[in-house]
Structure 1
Amino acid sequence: MDQEAARKLMARHVKNKNLRKHCLAVGAVMAALARHFGEDEEKWAVAGLLHDIDYEETKEEPDRHSLVGAEMLAREGLPEDVIYAVKVHNERHGLPRQDRLSKALYATDPLTGLIVAAALIRPEKKLAIVDVPFLLNRYQEKSFARGANRETMAACSELGLTLEDFFHIGLEAMQGIAAELGL
């Protein structure tokens, strides 16, 4: 499945505008991480785009989130490593992150929320004015963007990335689609 098909599939199942933007952001960051590591950009972007495909269906049952999504993706014929990465990104299942793809998706999911929150607290409400030092400062503030799990983001170390490098890759990727994100 390519990114265009993944976007269409995501749009059929994800109706909430902000959740769609989150999926787009995760897809962009995953593509950038794949580029950084010399991995398959298309595959990684598709994993990011589709990681929350079941969220609206399972939001009241968080223990089912990502398992239902993985089943949906299996029916669509996606590769097993993409399906597994989608399952793993929900830490409630306690599944081990066995490869770069699953490690990257796990750490990236909350990163996009931190970056969006950092843009939204600025008067301009634009990603263009956010920089890595600003993100690192906000990361240290426990009360800022509470939903963006710091421990999960710190798992970027499993990829051999520092927080600074991870934030740089993620921010640059999201700045590249800022118009689509409305930021």
Structure 2
Amino acid sequence: MTRDEALALVKKHVSTKNLVNHCLACEAIMRKLAKHFGEDEELWGLAGLLHDLDYDYTKDKPEEHGYKTLEILGDSVRPEIKNAILAHCEKKVPETLMEKALYAVDPTSGFIVAGALIKPEKKLSAINVEFLMNRFKEKGFARGANREQIRSCESFGLSLEEFLSISLEAMKEIADQIGL
């Protein structure tokens, strides 16, 4: 599957702009992480872009999240992508580097967006890693962003600060596309 085909699927199956933007942000972070680790940027990017393809269908049936995406995708993507999608929503234990990365990336993109939105500018350019590290300690900030899941970046060799730095940089590179 090409990136254009994947994006067309996202636009077909994901109804809200915010969730499309989340998928784009996860794609950007996954690509940046792949580059950091010397991995396949296209493969990792597709995993990030497609990971929540079924959200509209499964938001009220979380036990089906991930499985419905695999049903939609059929044989159009490699097994590594399917496994990463299942791992991100805890339908399998994250084992590979890509699976562990997507598991950590999913809540991180939302955490970073929340950081940008509390600034008057509502822009990613208004925040930095130090700001994010300080907010990470605040339990009341971005409650939906699972801190343990974000901190799982340490399981693949990145400190929280390094991981947030790579993630923020990736999202800043596509800030215009995601409206931030």
TM-score range, shorter chain: over 0.9
Q: Specify the code of the residue in structure 2 equivalent to 1:146.
A: R
Tell me which stretches of 4 or more aligned residues in structure 1 moved more than 4 Å: none
One-letter amino acid matched to 1:14: V
Who is 2:86 aligned against? Answer: 87
Q: Distance in 2 between matches of 1:117 and 1:3?
A: 27
**1:174 and 2:178 matched:** no
CA distance in structure 2 between the aligned counterparts of 1:82 and 1:152, rounded to whole angstroms: 19
Percent of aligned pairs with the same amino acid: 50
Q: CA deviation at 1:3?
A: 1.6
Match of 2:11 in 1: 11
TM-score, with structure 2 as normaliser? 0.98
For 2:60, the equivalent position in structure 1 comes to 60
Letter in 2 for 1:72: I
2:108 is the counterpart of 1:111:
yes
Residue 144 (structure 2) pairs with residue 120 (structure 1): no
The 2-side partners of 1:134 and 1:76 are apart by: 42
Letter in 2 for 1:166: F
* Residues in 1 aligned to 2:11 and 2:149: alpha-carbon distance in whole angstroms: 26
Aligned partner of 2:135 among 115, 138, 147: 138
How many residues are treated as equivalent by the alignment? Answer: 180
- Is the partner of 2:81 in helix, strand or coil? helix
CA distance in 1, matches of 2:133, 2:72: 36
Contact 1:2 1:43 in 2 (8 A): no
Q: Provide the residue aligned with 2:24 in structure 1.
A: 24
Stretches of structure 1 that go unaligned for 5 or more consecutive residues are none
Q: Is contact 1:30-1:41 (8 Å) kept?
A: yes
Q: Give the TM-score normalised by the residue count of structure 1.
A: 0.96
CA displacement at 1:7 relative to structure 2: 0.7
Q: What secondary structure does 1:145 align onto?
A: coil
CA RMSD of superposed structures (Å): 0.8
Q: Which residue of 1 aligns with 2:96?
A: 99
Whether contact under 8 Å (1:25, 1:174) holds in the other structure is: yes
